[in-house]
Structure 1
Amino acid sequence: MKKRVYGSIARKTVFMGISMTLMGSMLAACSSGSDTSAEKRVLRIGFTYSNADNEQYLRQQYTDSFELLHPELEIEVVGAINYDDMRYQDYTQEGYQQNQPDPYEKLKEMLNGSNPVDVVVLDGGTSYLKRLVQDNMLKQLDPVIQENEFDIEDYVPSVIEGIKDAGDGSIYALTPTFNSSALYYNKKMFADAGIEVPTDNMTWDDVITLAKRIAKGNGQERTFGLQMSRWGGDAFNDMQQYYLPALQLKMFDDNAEKMTVEGPGWEKVFTTMASLYKDKIVPSQQDIYPENGGGVVNGKAVFNPFQGDLFLSNRVAMTLAGYDYVMELSRAKDQSAKNPQITAVDWGVVTMPQHAENPGIGSAITLTAPMAINAKAANPEDAWTFIEFNNSKEWAKLKSRSTYELIARKSMLKPREGQDYNIESFYTLKPVPPSTLDMDKLNREKPGIWEVQSFGQQAMMDVVQGKKTAADALKEWQTKGDATLKKLKENPTGGVTGDVYAQ
């Protein structure tokens, strides 16, 4: 018997004229005069979160066009967690956090239930993907990809490597899009300072050295070398979001029973981050929003369309930002041609800084929609057809119009029309491997665990203000954190009181 092939390569000609084909399919279905409802196969597609309102968006994003091309299929959208169930809970009641559903457990129920979904589209990142693979809940896609001669070579290598990292070397999902950040720099500021511009594959130490060289001035005339969070200005949060992930240092062990912040690794992190703020290489909140907002100088309102954005204001030489920032910079350039009060930034972009201890790893690449087949799918063949459709080159061509996400296929990754920038900088580095520490779960099971981080924030502040050395601040954080974790182990849902708060 001839083996049935999961997907159809012949659909390529259909995709190329997708708009005409979609209309043609609808007309053909409407004019056929035959009732095909009894022949329809059901394809159940699961998402982590959904509700009645959100379902419309999910269908527009992922299923409407596919369903029009496949009138023999009926698409059912399933949410592991209903947004409304969370929205209408009384957050003022004791135990509110503990009553919040565990997304991973709900995903497992959706995959294992009496009427399991065929496809699961996961939220951004690979942490759930890795756990589902480890729990043998997903179908390995490597054999299907090979059988259908599906072009995997066109995928961005870092995206495939990120997927394989979550699948212990194998492919269990494909994602049509991803998000990423890079290091933007102001060409004029570097030229005026006579300093070489940043390049791809620089280490954090290299970037920080550049930032220190170019920062200068005082007060509201100060220009800064680097900004991590465009709207932030907090050393502890910047550390967590940008500097720390690729190092994969943890505050505490996976069971949240013992702190792990003492040692040379953490000491270097604290010393580095604190010095950037202490020496005003990175702007603080007060620098970003002087006089309670930035629109007022010496008591007088001033026109500043870039209020709060120091890079667009030509006061920051380098900033870390996502791909969507390209459009923000483009809009500013367009407006500068119309309004002499607006100065456009002559900018370039290179890869995110990486750590010498862990080269090739970026800290801000997210796989936005990993699509996988349930190991218990009732309809695995149509499930693959759906994944193949959403990850095809032809569909990627239409998706490439997005201003906020990057396409996972290299052949469709080009700078926005009329622009010239280093788009490879957004996908050269690999994503950070999934962490074994499930903070979402810990926050639900031990609501008081936030206090451990608050001690860390205070410790960093003490170093920035010169009250303590990094070693002493970390030692105190370790001690207070251990005391907190011990109390939470004895009473996971209780608060933390007593001497642990003593300064």
Structure 2
Amino acid sequence: MRRGTSKLFLIAFCGLMLLFLAAGCTGKSKQEAVSGTVTIMYIYQDSFYREYGDLFASKYPDVSVTVAETNNLYHETDDRERKLREWIDKEKPDILELTQDDYERLAGEGVLLDLEPLIQKDKYPMESFLPSITELLKVKGGGRIYGLPPSFMAAALFYNQDLFDQHGVAYPTDQMGWMEVLALAERFGGGAAQSPESKVYGLSLMPWESSPVGLMYKIGRANQLSEVNAQTMQVQIDSEGWKQAATQALAAFRSDSIKQIELKEMTEDVWKKQAFLEGKSAMTLAPFSFIYEVDEAFKKKGMQWSLVTEPVDPKNPAYAGSLNVGSIYAINAKSANVQAAWKLISYMSSDEMAKIKSRSSFNLLSRKGYMTELNGHSLDSFYKLDFNVNNRISYGKIPTRFYNDFYAVMSNKLQKVQAAELTLDQAFREAQQEGQHALDAALAASGGREEK
């Protein structure tokens, strides 16, 4: 009887070993061995290894990764498109780090490798990406996917629940237009009659944009307005849309419902003592990364906060003006290390990486379901709105110098309107002319156009 039992045990044990061996073989076929050297385009080597490289190396030790740093790639006078192509031709990276504009342009020029065969071969789970991100990749890629973004950037309207309760004002709601938000802001405080100690603002912006021109741009971006036609290289600021945005912005600051901060006042102390963090502002429009500061400051002061979606264009309430994929990682079509490159970018945007990043990322993750709340606060407001895939605002051809110069021009014009030195129409006519001169000068400095 014991011999029979031993024989049965031996047969069962052998069967189990065969199953384990089969499972091991199956695992190897799913996880193909990959080796080689791959070069990735990234701003800093140290930040790459901190964000992705060390984790990737522990999982794929046979793949060696080198970083081609881009921290000194662009200067404000550069023609960005030309500079990028020259850099790619010289450095020959296997993986390119691209903006949305770069991605669309280089995909159309055949510089990027079509990823769909690799996605299909590996059964890579694209379904867990946000649908609007997948749609964006396909629309900008002419119907195909040429890159993957691990994360994206978005803003939300944070609000102080205690201040709303104290003033008997109903909380803001998702998908409000800018007119609604500014009308809500005017319901707080008593204007200039209040003492500095008791002063409460209805709305605050990030310090560097807390001015009429900063708010004008916020409203304009929500409405998909651009100050330049990138196809004709003509400044187009003198339009009804931009004038309406400026009118709303000027009225908001005139009502004293937003604190105006001059650039010369920009100090570390101003950043640390922002009105919203101090409990002196009912609402603030801020990027996702600000949420950690809000949560910490409100806990210390025993205040309650919540958030809703950023203000939208009432004509297109499903879309957010601030949504942007920070970096899209694509494979150079000329790469000799496609498998290793694909292994790296697929890992950077994987479910596994999303799970690791879900509690520490300062950007929002492109994959659904990993960043859902922070200390009991739902993050749904950051994920509720969609990318406007038909947005034609383009920055790639326009030197950074122009945006810096023109911001100063527009700021000066709105200051003169505030001081009753110019009418709004005069301000925009002058801004149009001076802006075109600034654009022509910036393009000439970058080699893109002869200065007039």
Q: TM above 0.5, one fold?
A: yes
Distance 1:97 1:374, change over 3 A: closer
Residues 341-384 of structure 1: per-residue CA shift (max 9 Å, x gap): xx233110011100123332212223233211112221222222
Contact 1:312 1:344 in 2 (8 A): no
Determine the structure 1 residue equivalent to 2:345.
387
* Counterpart selection for 1:72 from 58, 62, 69: 62
Residue pair 1:174, 1:372 contacting (<8 A) in 2 also: yes
Give the Å deviation of 1:476.
2.7
TM-fit CA distance, 1:448: 7.0
Secondary structure of 2:128 counterpart:
coil
**Contact 1:231–1:308, Cα closer than 8 Å, also in 2:** no
- 3-state SS of 2:230 partner: coil
1:172 aligned residue = 146
CA contact (8 A) 1:230 1:319 kept: no
Q: Does 1:270 align with 2:246?
A: yes
Check the 8 A contact 1:327/1:403 in 2, yes or no: no
Alignment of 1:459-474 (within 5 A): 459-474=413-428
Query: Which residue of 271, 274, 278 corresponds with 1:313?
Result: 278
Over 3 Å counting, the alpha-carbon distance change for 1:193 and 1:325 in structure 2 is same
Find the counterpart in structure 2 of residue 4 from structure 1. none
Aligned length: 420
Question: Deviation at 1:56?
Answer: 2.8
Q: What amino acid maps onto 1:331 in structure 2?
A: E
1:414 matched to which residue of 2? 372
Please state how far the C-alpha of 1:217 moved relative to its aligned partner.
4.1
User: Shift of residue 9 of structure 1?
Assistant: 10
Matching residue of 2:328: 370
Residue aligned with 1:365, SS: coil
Q: Offset of 1:396 from its aligned partner? A: 1.2
Q: Which residue of 1 aligns with 2:383?
A: 427
CA contact (8 A) 2:113 2:146 kept: yes
**Residue identity matched to 1:57:** S
Of all paired residues, the percent bearing the same amino acid is: 25
Task: Quote the residue 1:476 is aligned against.
Answer: 430
> Matches of residues 30-109 of structure 1 in structure 2 within 5 Å?
40-47=35-42, 49=43, 54-79=44-69, 81=70, 83=72, 98=77, 103-109=80-86
**Counterparts of 2:239 and 2:310 in 1: how far apart (Å)?**
26
Any conservation in 2 of the 1:42–1:74 contact (CA below 8 Å)? Answer: yes
* Unmatched segments (≥5 aa) in structure 2: 1-24, 448-452
Deviations 1:286-339 (A, max 9, x none): 7x97xx9898xxxxxxxxx995311122221110112222211222244x3xxx
CA distance in 2: counterparts of 1:213 and 1:482, whole angstroms = 39
Shift in Å, 1:425: 0.6
Q: Distance in 2 between matches of 1:235 and 1:272?
A: 9
Unpaired segments of 5 or more residues in structure 1? 1-7, 15-24, 26-38, 87-95, 296-304, 337-342, 494-503
Q: 1:127, 1:435 within 8 Å by CA — same for their partners in 2? A: no
SS at match of 1:183: strand
Which residue of the partner structure matches residue 331 of structure 1?
A: 296
For residues 76-122 of structure 1, give each alpha carbon's deviation from its aligned partner in whole angstroms, at most 9, with x where no partner exists.
2223x463x88xxxxxxxxx965x6x554344345445x73222233
**CA displacement 1:231-274 (0-9 Å, x = unmatched):** 5421112323x222232323333267543222321221111111
Instruction: Answer yes or no: is the 8 Å Cα contact 1:78–1:117 preserved in 2.
Output: yes
Note the C-alpha offset of 1:147.
3.1
Query: CA distance change for structure 1 residues 167 and 465 in 2, over 3 Å: closer, same or farther?
Result: farther
Q: Structure 2: how far apart are the matches of 1:454 and 1:106? A: 26
Is 2:230–2:398's contact at 8 Å kept on the other side of the alignment?
Answer: no
Q: Which amino acid aligns with 1:317?
A: A
Structure 1 residue aligned with 2:8? none
Cα distance, 1:12 vs. partner? Answer: 13
